[in-house]
Amino acid sequence: MTKLSICIPVETAAQDALPLVTVLLEKQSEDFEIVIAKPADVALPGALLALAAGGANIVIADAAAGITRQHLWRHAALAARGDWVTLVNPADMLESDLATMVAFLETNSPGVDALAWNAFQIDRHAEPGKASSVAIPASYHIEKLDKTVMLKAFFYWENSLSSPKMPFGLYHAAIRRPLLDTLLQLQEPRGWSTPVPQYEWAAKVLLFANELAFCARPMSAINISPFAAEVPLHPWTFPFHSGIGIAGAVAEVQFHVLRELDTPWSGGGEAFVRALMIDCMMETNRDTYKNKGNAYFTALKEFEGGRLAPFFRPEFHEVRQTDQRRGLHGGALLIDRFVGGARDAKEFYTTVRLMLAPVGLICGGALYGKDTKAA
């Protein structure tokens, strides 16, 4: 059976998955398959179709025209056949040796059913000289993480920024077949939609996973883009939603996932309010900042009698500070975002991969170094 399924949802014809697929196929292996999920009315490049027709491990899974992002991701997961499944967007980049790591986990930590890793965040619209440095972790070990700690980090927003620090899920993370099957058997989302399905998968993975493993070595790069607010689709009364900002979108997802499990949402504490403030403070346009702040303040007044509204005091900063340090700082090597002339996630990961510990070394048993430990 295929060890790893790499799902790539293609929402529009403008999204070109060919560069990512080409890099992945450079590793001649039967250990993984590539599942390209797309609406039936979206055409793929001829070169990509030729690869699929030529015997490459590519599955093209057509979905209904007009399908939402949320349901397209689910469609991709349903089409996957691997023992492990991950999902990345067409403009992202993924480690081609990921199948080796999940096979290693199966043997050495059979209870682990969710794997996460550090992922580089790359803005291809960043300007040279103005972009923040990118951190490369100095360590590369795999370790098990406490599920309770992760649940608090996600659902109670502990130590979060504008969104919870949560690497687990399906997006730029991998889950094992039994866990995937369990999640796909849950009731399909009905009557509500979200533009950020990565948080829906994160919530469900955290709730249903047996053991969590995290690899400090970056295994992928994300082509980030600004969050685009969307008016939510749901008939339930909940004041925080994706029409306000990313923090509201995550809270909305948490609310609906828990509602489907007959569990009330209780993440509205001071840490959550801090995330709302950070979301506002990420805005450098005063009118946008003011509109978002007013919307969040109104939502807080509507929530639980307005008990949290007095804690909401964001500050406007027209210029956002960037960290442009270089060198080793706090266990991470800070490098230029444009190292080697890298413009996007693919080019950045391809360059930086030369500096990273080989996956074969991390998963090589006797090859472990002093700074490395198995899960």
Has residue 183 been placed in a domain? yes
Based on the structure, what is the number of domains in the chain? 1
- The contacts of residue 67 (CB under 8 Å, 6+ apart) are 39, 75
Has residue 229 been placed in a domain? no
Q: pTM of the prediction?
A: 0.93
CA 23 to each of CA 12, 160, 166, 311: distance values in angstroms, whole numbers, following the listed order: 21, 34, 27, 48
Amino acid in the structure at residue 198: Q
- Crossing angle of the two packed helices 18-25 and 46-53, in degrees rounded to 10: 30
pLDDT of residue 248: 96
Has residue 314 been placed in a domain? no
pLDDT of residue 318: 84
Alpha carbons 211 and 114: distance in angstroms, whole number: 7
Has residue 372 been placed in a domain? no
Q: Which residues of the chain are under the pLDDT cut of 50?
A: 365-375
Has residue 316 been placed in a domain? no
Nearest to 29 by CA among 56, 62, 47: 56
pLDDT of residue 375: 38
H or E segment and range at residue 87: strand 84-87
Helix, strand, coil in percent for the chain, rounding step 5: 35, 20, 45
Residues 46-102: tens digit of each pLDDT? 999 999 888 779 999 999 999 999 999 999 999 999 999 999 999 999 999 999 999
- Can you tell me whether residue 106 is helix, strand or coil? helix
pLDDT of residue 235: 62
pLDDT of residue 140: 92
Strands (E), 183-308: 211-223
Has residue 332 been placed in a domain? yes
Has residue 291 been placed in a domain? no
Q: What is the CATH classification number for the domain harbouring 90?
A: 3.90.550.10
Burial class for 176, CB neighbours closer than 10 Å (0-12, 13-18, 19+): buried
N residues, the chain? 375
pLDDT of residue 303: 94
Structural domain boundaries enclosing 78: 4-223+327-367
Has residue 375 been placed in a domain? no
Q: How far apart are the first and last CA of the chain?
A: 24
Nearest to 101 by CA among 122, 86, 79, 121: 86
